[in-house]
Amino acid sequence: MRVPLSWLKEFVDITLSVEELAERLTRAGLECEGIERIGVEGADLPWDPEKIVIGSILEVRQHPNADRLVLADVDYGAGAPHTVVTGAPNLFPYKDKGRLPQPLKGVFAREGAELYDGHAEGWVKMRLKGRPVRGIMSDAMLCSEKELGLSEDHEGILILPDDAPVGAPLRDYLGDVVLKFDVLPNMARCLSILGVAREIAALTGSPLRMPEMTVVEDGPPVEGRVRVTIEEPDLCPRFTATLIEGVTIGPSPLWMQRRLTMAGMRPINNIVDISNYVMLELGGPNHMFDADQVADQHLIIRLARPGERLVTLDNKEHNLDASLGGGMLPLLVCDPHGPLSLAGVMGGASSEVSATTTRVLLEVAVWDPTIIRRMGTALRARSEASKRFERGVDYELPPLVQRRALSLLQRIAGGSVAQGMVDNYPRPWQPVILDLTPREVRRIVGISLSAAEIADLLRPLGFACDLIDNGAAVRVTAPSVRRDITMLADLCEEVARIYGYDRIPLSLMADALPEPRNNPSLELELRVRDLLAGAGLDEAITYSLTSMAAVAAVNPADADASLYLRLANPLTPEREYLRRSLLPTLLDALAQNLRERERVLLFEIGRVYLKRAPGSDDPRPAEPQRLALALAGRRYERSWHTPDETVMDFFDLKGIVEVLLTRLNIAGVQYVPLTDDPRFHPGRAARLERDGSVLGVIGELHPDVCERLAIAAPRAMAAELDLELIGALVESARYRAISRYPATTQDLSLVAAVEVPAERVAATIRKYAGALLESLTLFDVYEGEQVGAGKRSLTYRLVFRAPDRTLNDAEIAKIRQKIVRGLEYDIGATIRG
């Protein structure tokens, strides 16, 4: 809501500075989002009061040396008239007519004045300098609207009304300040100058003034000449109508056009402008019909009937069916022949006020917010009117709007006003009456006020307050303009607001603490994040929404749209489906990063969204937490002290996963070769299993995937794990007594068939080594000529230790013998040393 200060000052005296006023209103809940100054000090272009003044154009003469220029003699209130050279086409009709019987008023700018350049694109400032134009000295100007910054118009000079005071600084005449407010839904009453003024009056104690409302009812009575029938009283609680005849259509006066422009509306003609002006001023949307286009001057408020159509003001034709009312039939204002307008939302073209209109039928009504909202949504057009009706218009406002509009119509467009007003009011306003106690104010707001003090805070806002029960409570009647007040909490807010939020004391809750609660899933998340960051991975958060193309790039087999939750209203095709895996978005981040750097390690913890089986009790999808890892590039950052140029592979990723699981004390996870997952290299991927349940997958990406994702690295690795399954396996750390006796170390080198997995070799060693084996480390793997085709050599370091004694050589030799035989027997391995 844009509010010109000059307009506001007609309703209430303001002694605060503009900034103070803005801050005061902001602190009272009407947030001032900006202050725009026009011509006054602080404006982008302040109008110099000495150099930019109102002038009177006495005579217009042909320039002696140029056909397209004229000379204007301007009296600007300082002795002799000044001659101005100008090319303004709107002065040409007055050329060489001698002294004008009715001088024109314009804006006169003297040498040194700062103005916008009328010929430049956009807003370029320039300073007025004297120079000869075709032999005649030009050191002053008559200004266009553009040169003053009032509008883009540079077609001719700005002509002011005849009563503009000659010699007065333009700053005082047209300068203004516009306050821009963000009006929240509960402050609908402030969608008007009157509403904002009422708040200021309540906050500052200044009295509220009402505007000129004089109407001369010099026409015959309206009764019997205009009829209103309300078929839907629940949707139209009140409908008023008046008639003014003999109006003259023309432009509205400059002051009205300026205010509409400043408030953000475009001036059209005097009738339309008055309609908008009154809506902005009082908050009452209204509609002006050309009365001669309303059959029998009979207005009927009803729902649409099958097959009806209407061409609206914007020349669009609509089928008046339930699609236009969001499931309800649209509500119409009709005459006996058919629809005239969409009630409260948009007028129809056929009954629109036109250049030939002489009789105006003025509608001021109150509509049900829901039907207005639905029609506005269906039309995808929120008009200024529907915006106000949706939020609730004061039931008692229409008569006031009628009088103010008629008064302006009569003054500006002429005409005679029919006596009286048709007022159909089938659902009168039911005032809300609430008993508010000091105890309730203390309970909710935390301040101690007496009933009388509470009443004093509420009364300036228009609440009627009576002390009841010997001053134990206030009986509050909300004014009709406060349709937002429905319960005690609303009144508490008003009390707090006017008392001042900043004056309410600070306290800390004295209440009991809630019952203790563990949150294992959060704790797991925190630990996993710390462990992975400690392992050198950066945490990413990617979009939950993705596309089938992105899914297919990682795995065409996953791109079955029927498995995914799809948005009904996606913003872009890239973010259309809720993800079922973190990999498409995280691998995309990997690919992007690899364009910038040689080594990338990322992880993400986030939810995936899985449709429930049909018939499930909960309509919401399952949202399990997943952990994904992605890495590629150099194993070590390029640096002067590390000549190692190797790139990461499967084992870098596996090492990270192993560290993670170890630190979470999860043992016994099997890495089962994964050979048929299209996402992964068939020989470098594994499924993680524990007791038959699959925790996730890990592997080097298939070259096809890298190609589709444009991953520029020889190998790229990814893993995705189910964090909920992992969480269920987490064990607490357990202390093992530390032996005081020395250890004995043995190295064991064996040759086995390549097909025997290392994990099986290690398990065999452990099985035969028994409890004295403290640790087992594989430190060499060799395949080649020395061991023969199809075989490989594995070398382990075994550390033995007993908790209660020093082991002797004979014991160790015996164990070693057992292991060697076991390896030969179980997996056909031979010992090299």
Phi, psi of 330 (to 5 degrees): -65, 150
Which region, judged by CB under 8 A, interacts with other proteins, from 39-47, 283-291, 431-439, 491-499? 491-499
* Least Å from the CB of residue 391 to other proteins: 5
Pick 596 or 809: Cβ nearer other proteins: 596
| Residue from the set 566, 760, 805, 821 that interacts with other proteins by CB under 8 A | 566
Q: What x/- string results for residues 185 through 224 when contact with other proteins is judged by CB under 8 A? A: xxx-------------------------------------
Which region, judged by CB under 8 A, interacts with other proteins, from 124-132, 525-533, 786-794, 818-826? 525-533
585 three-state secondary structure? helix
* Least Å from the CB of residue 381 to other proteins: 14
Cβ neighbors of 771 (< 8 A, separation 6 or more) are none
**Residues between 12 and 41 with contacts to other proteins, criterion CB under 8 A:** 26-29, 31, 33-34
208 three-state secondary structure? strand
> Does residue 364 contact residue 450 with C-beta atoms inside 8 Å?
no
Pick 53 or 458: Cβ nearer other proteins: 458
**Residues between 415 and 444 with contacts to other proteins, criterion CB under 8 A:** 442-444
**Residues between 494 and 523 with contacts to other proteins, criterion CB under 8 A:** 496-497, 501-502, 504-515, 517, 519, 521-522
> Does residue 460 contact residue 205 with C-beta atoms inside 8 Å?
yes
| Residue from the set 15, 430, 569, 732 that interacts with other proteins by CB under 8 A | 569
Report if residue 733 touches other proteins, rule: CB under 8 A.
Answer: no
| Residue from the set 80, 571, 613, 789 that interacts with other proteins by CB under 8 A | 571
* Least Å from the CB of residue 500 to other proteins: 9
Query: How far is 607 from 583, CA to CA, in rounded Å?
Result: 12
End-to-end CA distance of the chain: 89
Which region, judged by CB under 8 A, interacts with other proteins, from 239-247, 310-318, 403-411, 532-540? 532-540
Pick 80 or 513: Cβ nearer other proteins: 513
Pick 555 or 585: Cβ nearer other proteins: 585
Beta bridge partners of residue 577, listed in sequence order: 546, 566
Residue 477 exposed, middle or buried by CB count within 10 Å (0-12, 13-18, 19+)? middle
**Residues between 146 and 185 with contacts to other proteins, criterion CB under 8 A:** 184-185
Q: How many residues bind other proteins (CB under 8 A)?
A: 100
* Least Å from the CB of residue 824 to other proteins: 42
**Residues between 458 and 487 with contacts to other proteins, criterion CB under 8 A:** 487
Element (H, E) at 21: helix 18-27
The bridge status of strand 346-347 relative to strand 338-342 is antiparallel
Report if residue 738 touches other proteins, rule: CB under 8 A.
Answer: no
Which region, judged by CB under 8 A, interacts with other proteins, from 93-101, 406-414, 563-571, 807-815? 563-571
Element (H, E) at 792: strand 791-800
Pick 67 or 618: Cβ nearer other proteins: 618
Q: Report which of 101, 82, 104 is spatially closest to residue 92, judged by C-alpha positions.
A: 104
Q: What x/- string results for residues 586 through 615 when contact with other proteins is judged by CB under 8 A? A: x-xxx-xx--xx--xxxxx-xx-x------
Report if residue 619 touches other proteins, rule: CB under 8 A.
Answer: yes
* Least Å from the CB of residue 567 to other proteins: 5
* Lookup result for tokens 């370029």: 124
Q: Report which of 725, 716, 636, 741 is spatially closest to residue 687, judged by C-alpha positions.
A: 725
The sign of the CA dihedral 655, 661, 664, 668 is: negative
* Least Å from the CB of residue 621 to other proteins: 5
| Residue from the set 95, 575, 687, 797 that interacts with other proteins by CB under 8 A | 575
* Least Å from the CB of residue 242 to other proteins: 29
Pick 33 or 759: Cβ nearer other proteins: 33
Pick 490 or 774: Cβ nearer other proteins: 490
* Least Å from the CB of residue 517 to other proteins: 5
**Residues between 775 and 804 with contacts to other proteins, criterion CB under 8 A:** none
> Does residue 695 contact residue 558 with C-beta atoms inside 8 Å?
no
Residue 131 exposed, middle or buried by CB count within 10 Å (0-12, 13-18, 19+)? exposed
**Residues between 367 and 406 with contacts to other proteins, criterion CB under 8 A:** 369-370, 373-374, 390-391
Question: How does DSSP classify residue 573?
Answer: G
707: which 2 tokens?
A: 């190609």
Query: How far is 88 from 101, CA to CA, in rounded Å?
Result: 20
Report if residue 539 touches other proteins, rule: CB under 8 A.
Answer: yes
Cβ neighbors of 80 (< 8 A, separation 6 or more) are none
Pick 472 or 781: Cβ nearer other proteins: 472
Pick 386 or 402: Cβ nearer other proteins: 386
Q: What x/- string results for residues 641 through 660 when contact with other proteins is judged by CB under 8 A? A: xx------------------
Pick 171 or 634: Cβ nearer other proteins: 634
Query: How far is 5 from 440, CA to CA, in rounded Å?
Result: 38
What residue type is assigned to position 273 of the chain?
A: D
* Least Å from the CB of residue 200 to other proteins: 15
Query: How far is 696 from 723, CA to CA, in rounded Å?
Result: 9
Query: How far is 780 from 681, CA to CA, in rounded Å?
Result: 24
485 three-state secondary structure? coil
The bridge status of strand 416-419 relative to strand 219-221 is parallel
| Residue from the set 64, 167, 426, 534 that interacts with other proteins by CB under 8 A | 534
> Does residue 706 contact residue 716 with C-beta atoms inside 8 Å?
yes
Pick 263 or 537: Cβ nearer other proteins: 537
In DSSP notation, 323-364 reads: GGGTTSPPEEEEETTEEEEETTTEEBSTT---TT--EEEEEE
Cβ neighbors of 530 (< 8 A, separation 6 or more) are none
